[in-house]
Amino acid sequence: MRHLVISTHGEDSSKRTTFRNPNEELKKKISEFKLSDKEKSTTRFMGDDWNIEEWEEDEVRCTFERNVMYIKRSDIEREHASKLEMQRGLAFPMVDYFKDMFGVLVYKTSTKVKKLDMVSVYGLCGSPYNPTSINGYGRVYEAELDTYRSLTVKLSASNGMGLFLSFDADGNVSNRDYNEELQNYKASDDKLISIFDNWTKVIRSRINGPIYTNKTKTRYFTDAECLTPYFEDNGQENFQFGLYTLKVSDKSGVYKEYRSETVKLPAKPIETTVDDLINHVKGLLTPEAMDILNK
């Protein structure tokens, strides 16, 4: 998406980035969208719709029934601009066009993959407090590798990413960066399984010597670590799997971390392979977790 950035303006929660609309036909259609003559001939004041009679340099002469009022021109122009954005949002809901314009978006690093598929559940026109925005809700898949005190993959799927997107007057796409910086994404068919592949690479790089297990294959041992495979289903399509790790504490085969249990090397350890360890963890994953990994 970075190659489509036109401009960025504002700060903090009001910061917005404008992206070029790659659909030139749609862009032209949106840029030609205007308020109706009736909407341009009235203004809302004190709860009533006043008729615009005459535009002056700084003020506008307006009437309501037998009443005459001069209203600041800038106030009416601001109201009409806001009304136009609201009407444009209703006529061209972003959720109906986003995926056709940009595809499935992926944010990817060596330790994280976040995938945004805007097959939206629903779209809402902005509230009166934020009339220029469209709320877009997408299907989000996320996998993250954590190597701090464990070798863990966190995996999730949700419908909960709210994006504040709208078409601007030129037919381009304006995004509120505070919710998600889409310039860090790109259209891609990369799958979350790449994080699992990176996880296996980390394991292979950490196990350089022989590896052993116990009779029940609940733990695996190297000269440096005790590795315990695990899988957790935390509900609502949130999963976590990987290896709990304990560092060897002395040369007598005792493994321990601060405030953790003490684990000893079995009296008769069984030699095994790194592939066996990886397949053990993979075998713990449920079909639901595997389905998300393959998104």
Closest CA to 198 of 244, 152, 245, 142: 152
| Crossing angle between the packed helical segments 193-206 and 274-284, to the nearest 10 degrees | 150
- Structure confidence at residue 136 as a pLDDT band (50, 70, 90): low
User: What confidence score (pLDDT) does residue 58 get?
Assistant: 96
Cα→Cα distances 27→30, 110, 170, 220, Å: 5, 36, 7, 59
Mean pLDDT of the chain: 88
User: What confidence score (pLDDT) does residue 135 get?
Assistant: 54
User: What confidence score (pLDDT) does residue 91 get?
Assistant: 86
For residue range 257-272, what is the model confidence (pLDDT) as tens digits?
A: 766 678 888 999 999 9
For residue range 154-198, what is the model confidence (pLDDT) as tens digits?
A: 999 987 677 788 899 999 999 989 888 999 999 998 999 999 999
Q: How far apart (Å, rounded) are the C-alpha atoms in residues 283 and 278?
A: 9
Task: Tell me the domain boundaries of the chain.
Answer: 104-163+181-295
- Structure confidence at residue 247 as a pLDDT band (50, 70, 90): confident
User: What confidence score (pLDDT) does residue 53 get?
Assistant: 96
User: What confidence score (pLDDT) does residue 164 get?
Assistant: 81
For residue range 23-66, what is the model confidence (pLDDT) as tens digits?
A: 999 999 999 999 999 999 999 998 999 999 999 999 999 999 99
Question: Mean pLDDT throughout 244-251?
Answer: 81
User: What confidence score (pLDDT) does residue 251 get?
Assistant: 61
Q: How far apart (Å, rounded) are the C-alpha atoms in residues 265 and 223?
A: 10
User: What confidence score (pLDDT) does residue 159 get?
Assistant: 75
User: What confidence score (pLDDT) does residue 280 get?
Assistant: 97
Phi-psi region of 238 (alpha: psi -120 to 50; beta: other; left: phi over 0): beta
For residue range 100-109, what is the model confidence (pLDDT) as tens digits?
A: 999 989 999 9
- pTM (2 d.p.): 0.79
User: What confidence score (pLDDT) does residue 256 get?
Assistant: 81
User: What confidence score (pLDDT) does residue 78 get?
Assistant: 94
Instruction: Please say if the pLDDT value at position 123 is more than 50.
Output: no
Closest CA to 33 of 81, 96, 75: 81
Cα→Cα distances 191→56, 182, 185, Å: 60, 18, 14
For residue range 4-27, what is the model confidence (pLDDT) as tens digits?
A: 999 999 999 889 999 999 999 999
Instruction: Determine what percent of the chain is predicted with pLDDT higher than 90.
Output: 67
Instruction: Determine what percent of the chain is predicted with pLDDT higher than 70.
Output: 91
User: What confidence score (pLDDT) does residue 179 get?
Assistant: 84
Closest CA to 245 of 109, 153, 151: 151
Could you please report the per-residue DSSP string of 13-27?
GG-EEEE--S-HHHH
User: What confidence score (pLDDT) does residue 258 get?
Assistant: 61
Cα→Cα distances 14→5, 9, 95, 257, Å: 17, 8, 21, 45
Burial group, residue 81, by CB count within 10 angstroms (0-12, 13-18, 19+): middle
User: What confidence score (pLDDT) does residue 93 get?
Assistant: 80
Report the relative pairing of strands 134-146 and 150-167 from DSSP bridges. antiparallel
Closest CA to 30 of 104, 102, 101, 135: 101
User: What confidence score (pLDDT) does residue 132 get?
Assistant: 45
Task: Name which residue leads in pLDDT, 285 or 257.
Answer: 285
Question: Mean pLDDT throughout 135-139?
Answer: 63
Burial group, residue 266, by CB count within 10 angstroms (0-12, 13-18, 19+): middle
Torsion of CA 180, 18, 99, 32, to 10 degrees: 150
Task: Name which residue leads in pLDDT, 121 or 214.
Answer: 214
